[in-house]
Structure 1
Amino acid sequence: MEEAPSPSEAPSTFTDGIVSQARLLPEQPAVILPDRLATYDMIAQGILRVEERLRAVNLPPGEVVCVALASPIRHLILVAALFRLGVPSVSGETAESVIALRLPVRTYFQDAGGALTPGLNRILVDESWFAGPRLAANAARGFAREDDLCRIEVTSGSTGAPKAVSTTVAGFQQRLAAQITAESLGVRGRVLVLPRISGGLGFRVAARVLSTGGTIVCAESAREALQMTAAYRVDAIVASVQQARDLIREQRRAPIPCPSLGALLVTGALPTRALLNEARAWLCSRTIVHYGATETGPIASTPADLLMEEEGATGFPLPGATIEVVDAEDRLAPSETVGLVRVRTLAMGEPYPPRPKDEHPSLRGGSFYPGDRGRLTKEGMLILEGRASEIINTGGVKRAPELIEELVLRHPNVAEAAAFGAVGADGIEEVNLAVVTRAAIAEKALINWCAARGLEVARVFAVESLPRTQMGKIRRDEVKRSLIG
């Protein structure tokens, strides 16, 4: 059996920054929730206490465990303790969401009161795990090598079934370094993180902020986020496109002054120019567009004011990231030529568990193919048209569903909208809409309203809600299947 590394040999991880900050500024706020606050000292003590409980569990070395705790504070503490013990982990909103992926995971840490399943090792975590006498800080045993598996992240599944992607210790640290670069335009200090901590981006942002001595602020809704931004003098907000839209809607409905807000980072989908203009007007003039993926980590990050000349402008690659556009035969396309986007970063993930390449076709040849169509300008700016599988081709006119939805959302009675293509009776693809309405509106009236604005719509379906991923992306395939098969 291989001996555990000595503390001096173990690779450094984000937990070292937390412990160091707890020594230097123990009363510095680390995590702020609507109903509580945890200082760095409280977080560090929680990590040490949970470490003791985990040692008693006697987890098999190198075996991935699942963390499914609802509290962001407890979730962060438990994952940090696992890092310090050299145990790889995967996060989930619930244990069931991870079980459904059929990963080789046998041990699940979940909140007390959760259901138990025969054949699975479910460990209930309650308040006693985090309480107890004060403990002296000790050196972390950690992972043995930088190429050890340390973290599993789950993709959103917006274009299919969610997939699991593995990251090594070195890869995770590289992702945090890229996150720092991506956020260098102002996302620092007190950062309100709307993506959940149990998701890949939310956890990485939290780990980055805590490893550098900042403060994480968490909120459950757009209204709560604005209130906490004002009350706690938040410096920056990280939000998905849908979360940014919700923030704008709330500010327009009942404005809350947020003079401390210095940056808004928007991520998770293609933001339209209309959305970016509204974000700059109603939330923060320094709005930053972030392009990344679970498989790669951060890819591009660019201020919105550099992206306003052309719809679909997404940004310039970060240092260490390569963006290319290829044709159907995977050959590099010339500048300004539309094709499929492929990317590489210094922190590429791998399918988990390891599997034949044809089972994860978006990860091949050392590159990631996100399924986006776009082009590169001569200056290297990425211009996206949308996802190849979702672009609606109406008689040769290609439209990104996000742009259609942005127009439809201008109707005062439309609260949510999803656009998708379906072949009509004449064999030509047509635009279809699924809408959540604020007040009743006739299908023909909405079709005529769209036509007056240059958008031909074949059918409108009124629905109670739209299926979304954790980041707020619409599951358009699911919408289409449920409505027309």
Structure 2
Amino acid sequence: MFDRYVAFRARLQPRASAVITPARAFSFADLDADVNRFAGALRALGVGPASGLVAAQNSDAYEELVLLLALARLGVASTPEYDAAADLRLGAEPLAQGRAFVRITQAWIDAAFAAEPFPVTSAQVAPEAIGRVLMSSGTTRTPRRVGLSWRMIDANVRNAAVTWCAGLSGRWMPRTGLDSMLGLMTCLTGWSVGAAITVGWELEDLPKTLEVLKPSFLTFTPAHLRELLAVTPPEFRPLPGLRILVGGSLLPRDLAQETRLRLTADLRIIYGSTECSAMAHADAALLEAAPGATGYPGPDVHVEIVGADGALLPAGQSGEVRIICERSAQEYIDDPEASAAAFREGGFHPGDIGHLRGDGLLVLEGRADDRMNLGGRKFMPGPLEEAALGCPGVLDAAVFAAPDEAGLDRCWLAVVQDEDFDRERLIAHLAAQSEGLPPFRFAWIAEIPRNAMGKVERNRLRAETMAALGLTPVE
């Protein structure tokens, strides 16, 4: 169904840009014709709704978009290329033994592009059938497979168009891929309102690209935003008319302040999940008065804070977040145990800990499964991470727990440092604001492992630290 956004725009504004890459710009007419070409070529290979969940492997940004839309035009449900449970894989090499595989070569792709364009009618699909599968955030647990129905995808696009990207057109630049809810919704919603999606740009080229293309909308994770600022030259001037939306994890105050100073004053925060898409959003200026703020719940979202017994908690009191929204998934695919834990009591439990202010603002304090139990005292990673990130020269940081030789969990602070970084300055910086922070050890690393939405993979940090200490091999 979502391919129809492109087909509609190809009729309404055929010459308007739909996709912009470093190589060239593609109009809506170009994109729609290429979707038809690929849909016809895939159908000739026997790909159709009976193929089940199809994973398409492709490293070219434009071709990846075309394949997604071509599968949708045929009424075929798609899934990320790394989904080993896909029923059919299209690509250069099979991913899992025993699964159907169709080899797609560069010669096949070139032939598809060279074919004469011909119309392919969008397939009629059952609205409640799965149209796309995404993986939930696997930061401290195994990622779950979330099935998004065609109806859910359309409802999420409509919600985005009137909330977190209302009134925007022009050129949009997602930094997360089609395997994330934020990246998928940015592309589909952009096309639905006639915006051009800009993809395929290297990090070091982004500052110049922003100056030349003058996009109206960027969707980033905090990690992506910090990377952009690291390569942005001091002489770069803030861009008028640019909005940046940040999601995937909490936006630290220091990062918000630097972004508003150096890139744009129009900085927004969004709270969402793979299971529900966007749930709350607001201006990032709220972080000044409310660290951990994620925004106000959307018009169709009801947020509750509940205690361990499931009872509702009053405003200002911390507890588990529960989301009630018609756009929410109802279960994970082939995982009844995880489904029962997350989808219960009439709502979705994302595993976040937070509170609601009296005015309805949702403030998060961390994830329940991120909470560290250090000798009976419980700590959330957020305060120590934010303190570390506030030190000049710290490029990235993450807090996690790992056992010592006695088997007791200790707090660790993983730090990615700039060149010529003074570690003693960080030690002094943290010592000056140590109240409420747990004792910790440093782990100096080259990169913080993160998932597609920029969330820290703490289990991986824990396993690698244990391996370095000779306590257990890395899984």
Corresponding residue number in structure 2 for 1:403 = 383
- Alpha carbons of structure 1 residues 272 and 449: separation in structure 2 relative to 1, 3 Å: closer
- Cα distance in 2 for residues equivalent to 1:230 and 1:445: 35
- Please give the secondary structure, in 1, of the residue aligned with 2:246: strand
The CA deviation string for residues 379-400 of structure 1, in whole angstroms up to 9 with x for no partner, is 2111111112223467898654
1:31 has 2:19 as partner: yes
Q: Do the aligned residues in 2 keep the contact of 1:90 with 1:152 (CA within 8 Å)?
A: yes
Instruction: Tell me the CA shift for residue 224 of structure 1.
Output: 2.2
1:152 aligns with 2:133: yes
- Are residue 275 (structure 1) and residue 255 (structure 2) matched? yes
State the identity %: 27
Deviations 1:156-191 (A, max 9, x none): 312311111001111111111122133235653211
- Alpha-carbon distance change, 59 to 397 in structure 1, aligned in 2, over 3 angstroms: same
1:417-445 per-residue CA deviation (whole Å, 9 max, x = no partner) reads: 21124578999975421223335779777
Tell me, yes or no, if structure 1 residue 226 matches structure 2 residue 207.
yes
Which deviates more, 150-159 or 121-130?
Answer: 121-130
Aligned residue for 1:192?
Answer: 173
Q: Distance in 1 between matches of 2:447 and 2:239?
A: 34
Secondary structure (helix, strand or coil) at the match of 2:341 reads: coil
Counterparts of 1:212-291 in structure 2, within 5 Å, are 212-251=193-232, 253-257=233-237, 259-291=239-271
What SS does the corresponding residue of 2:122 show, helix, strand or coil? coil
Letter in 1 for 2:63: R
Please list the CA deviations of residues 300-349 of structure 1 after superposition, one character each: whole Å capped at 9, or x if unmatched. Answer: 11111234311111111111111111111111112211101111222112
Mapped to 1, the partners of 2:377 and 2:202 lie a distance apart of: 37
Counterpart in 2 of 1:205?
A: 186
The offset of 1:364, in angstroms, is 2.7
Amino acid at match of 1:301: H
Give 1:82's aligned amino acid.
L
2:318 corresponds to which of 328, 331, 338: 338
**Quick one: which of 83, 91, 95 aligns to 1:98?**
83
Is the 1:31–1:215 contact (alpha carbons within 8 Å) kept by the matching residues of 2? yes
Q: Whole-Å Cα distance in 1 between the matches of residues 377 and 206 of structure 2?
A: 39
1:419-430 equivalent positions in 2, closer than 5 A: 419-421=399-401
SS in 2 for 1:459: strand
**Relative to 1, partners in 2 of residues 1:397 and 1:272: Cα closer, same or farther, differing over 3 Å?**
farther
Instruction: Note if 1:369 corresponds to 2:349.
Output: yes
Query: Cα deviation per residue 1:272-307 (whole Å; 9 max; x = unaligned)?
Result: 222222221111111110100001111011111234
Check the 8 A contact 1:14/1:208 in 2, yes or no: no
Match of 1:163 among 127, 136, 144: 144
User: 3-state SS of the aligned residue for 1:131?
Assistant: helix
Q: Select the residue among 72, 92, 110 that pairs with 2:61.
A: 72
TM-score when normalising by structure 2: 0.88
Helix, strand or coil for the counterpart of 2:117? coil
What is the aligned counterpart of 1:119 among 69, 94, 98? 98
Per-residue deviation, residues 230-288 of structure 1 (Å, max 9, x unmatched)? 1112111110111112222333x444335344211000001122222222111111111
Q: Distance in 2 between matches of 1:42 and 1:434?
A: 46
For 1:430-462, what per-residue CA distance to the aligned partner results, in whole angstroms no more than 9, with x for missing partners? 542122333577977754442133255431122
Separation in 2, partners of 1:131, 1:334: 58
Q: Is the 8 A contact 1:91 1:153 kept in 2?
A: yes
Given the alignment, which residue of 439, 442, 445 partners 1:460? 442
Of the candidates 21, 36, 39, which is equivalent to residue 9 of structure 2? 21
Q: Give the Cα–Cα distance (whole angstroms) in 1 for the partners of residues 211 and 421 of structure 2.
A: 37
Distance 1:280 1:186, change over 3 A: farther
Q: Under a length normalisation based on structure 1, what TM-score does the superposition of the two structures give?
A: 0.87
Where do 5+ consecutive residues of structure 1 fail to align? 1-12
* 1:130 alignment partner, one of 112, 126, 131: 112
Q: Secondary structure at the match of 1:434?
A: strand
Structure 2 gap segments, 5+ residues each: none
Find the aligned partners of 2:440 and 2:97 in 1 and give their Cα distance.
50
Cα distance in 1 for partners of 2:422, 2:394 equals: 12
User: 1:436·1:462 contact (CA, 8 Å) conserved in 2?
Assistant: yes
Q: Which stretch shows the higher mean deviation, 225-234 or 392-401?
A: 392-401
Residue aligned with 1:468, SS? coil
1:347, 1:129 → 2: CA distance? 39
In structure 2, how many angstroms separate the alpha carbons of the residues matched to 1:259 and 1:444? 36
Alpha-carbon distance in structure 1 between the residues aligned to 2:220 and 2:424: 35
Residues 137 and 212 of structure 1: CA distance in aligned 2, closer, same or farther (over 3 Å): farther
Q: 1:31 Cα shift?
A: 0.9
Change (3 A) 1:362 1:255: farther
- Specify the alignment match of 1:480 in structure 2: 462
Alpha-carbon contact 1:325-1:375 (below 8 Å) kept: yes
What letter corresponds to residue 175 of structure 1 in structure 2? N
Q: Residue type matched to 1:479 in 2?
A: L
**Is the CA contact 1:338–1:375 (under 8 Å) kept in the aligned structure 2?**
yes
**For residues 441 and 32 of structure 2, what CA distance do their matches in structure 1 show?**
56
| 1:29-82 CA-partner distances (Å, limit 9, x unpaired) | 111112232221111111111111122222353511112222222122112122
Range with greater deviation from structure 2 (284-293 or 330-339)? 330-339
What's 1:316 paired with? 296
Q: 1:116 to 1:274 in 2, by over 3 A?
A: closer
Contact 1:386 1:401 in 2 (8 A): yes
CA contact (8 A) 2:135 2:179 kept: no
Question: Mapping of 1:40-55 within 5 angstroms?
Answer: 40-55=28-43
Q: Does the 8 Å contact 1:190/1:215 carry over to 2?
A: yes
Q: 1:377 to 1:427 in 2, by over 3 A?
A: farther
Distance in 1, Cα, partners of 2:406 & 2:464: 22
- The separation in 2 between residues aligned to 1:412 and 1:141, in whole angstroms, is 54
